[in-house]
Amino acid sequence: MATPLFSLSKITSTINYSNWAKIAFLFLIYIKLYFGIMEINSKLLGISCIILAHVFFTTQDMAIKFISGDYALHQVMMTRSIVAILFTLLIFVPIDGGFKYLRTQRLGLHLLRGFGIVIANLCFFTALISMPLAEVKAIFFIAPLLITVLSVFLLGEKVGLRSWIAVLVGLLGVMIMLRPGSGFSNPASILPLVAALAYALVQIMTRKIGETENASTMAFYIQLNFVAVSGLMGLIFGDGHLADPSQPTLNYLFRPWTVPSWGDGMIIIGIGLINGLATYFISQAYRISKAGTVAPFEYVALPCSIFWSITVFGDWPDIVSWLGIVLIAGAGLFIAYSETVQGRKNVLYGSMPRNR
């Protein structure tokens, strides 16, 4: 593997953590003022939120991959989600009007939606063990195309010929990246595809939840699902009895919980803070702005992922990967543009995960 352009370990050793509180306080003041000033322009605010969300999400993905060789995935998810849920309760819930808005008439739908996103995350992050971040992210972005297909069969929506052609082009891009029948094929490359399918099904089921729920409410129940599922996994697998160092992927899922070093602990806490911000901003983007306006900006995640892959891990996409990335991104952007021009409100424009 090529040498990364810089090392996170060097950065974490030089950070003055005593300044974090000051930085966080100033950042929150900025966010509050920004939302107040931009309230009159929901379009620009929505675009800003979606871009910020994916900058945060891809940074989180990079950090999780960076520490994936030392900690179990469910341990990282558990810690991340506890930090994120506390951050949401202390900061974003008061901004959105208070704790009374956490009461919901759609608890079952929130839990089902959150469980689907947990499955998507498990598959996505497991794939990072043996695949470059940029490739995992690119394959995952087949999700908008899958939503288009599922909307036809599950919701009875109509999709034009051009959109069907775009779906086929995107699927061709995925096939190119999976490289079936070649010596470069990686079985783990199926995992981001499963993650995309799980996420697409979540979006089909919850297409209207944002019409009645605040962004902080949706973010809270997502994190609650992560805490519950990762905590259960920790109780069952946390002693490491199923860990197998000879199988890196399985070992990542089943290795025992360990006490992180000071530097790694700060990274994991940072992952939680970043995830809390990203989850809130992506929910806010689709709540305050038209989905067709912000959906194309989801694809800012691809150049961000490529940047982290190259600079931190030294993973340069080869010509085949570049071709697949271009086809997937081009197909998704075309469908987003096509649906926006037609003016049809489509489930395609639900937010990408995460945590997603």
Mean pLDDT for the stretch of residues 223-236? 91
244 band by pLDDT with thresholds 50, 70 and 90: confident
Band (pLDDT 50/70/90 cuts) for residue 352 is very low
* Residue 278, pLDDT above cutoff 90: no
Higher pLDDT: 20 or 175? It is 175
By mean pLDDT, which of 25-34, 111-120, 332-341 is the weakest?
A: 25-34
Report how far residue 238's alpha carbon sits from residue 36's, in angstroms, rounded to the nearest whole number.
Answer: 45
- The DSSP string of 96-108 is TT-GGGG--S-HH
Closest CA to 189 of 233, 232, 249: 249
Using CA atoms, how far apart are residues 114 and 252, in angstroms rounded to an integer? 22
pLDDT band at residue 353, thresholds of 50, 70 and 90? Answer: very low
Contacts of 163 by beta carbon, 8 Å cutoff, 6+ apart: 148, 334, 335, 338, 339
Here the tokens at position 110 are 């929130």
What does the pLDDT read at residue 349? Answer: 43
**Amino acid 350: pLDDT:** 45
Quick one: what percent of the chain has pLDDT higher than 70? 78
pLDDT over 70 (residue 196): yes
Q: Between these two residues, 179 and 319, which has the higher pLDDT value?
A: 319
pLDDT grade for 287, boundaries at 50, 70 and 90? confident
SS3 at position 16: coil
pLDDT tens per residue, range 104-141: 877 888 888 888 989 999 999 999 998 999 999 999 98
Q: How far is CA 109 from its chain centroid?
A: 20
Range with top average pLDDT, 183-187, 216-220, 346-350: 216-220
Confidence (pTM): 0.79
Residue 61 one-letter amino acid: D
Q: Once rounded to an integer, what is the mean pLDDT over residues 208-212?
A: 64
Instruction: Count CB-CB contacts under 10 A for residue 21.
Output: 9
Write the pLDDT tens digit of every residue in 308-327. 999 999 999 889 889 999 99
pLDDT given for residue 228 in this prediction:
92
The CA-atom distances, in angstroms, between 276 and each of 44, 114, 320, 356 are 22, 14, 35, 10
Given pLDDT bands bounded at 50, 70 and 90, which one contains residue 5?
low
- CA dist 122 and 140 (Å) reads 13
Residue 2 three-state SS? coil
User: C-alpha 138: how far from its chain's center?
Assistant: 12
Residue 36 pLDDT greater than 70, yes or no: no
Q: How much is the average pLDDT of 232-255?
A: 88
Question: Is 80 exceeded by the pLDDT of residue 27?
Answer: no
Distance CA 207, CA 212 (A): 11
How confident is residue 347, by pLDDT bands cut at 50, 70 and 90? very low
CA distance 5 to 83: 30
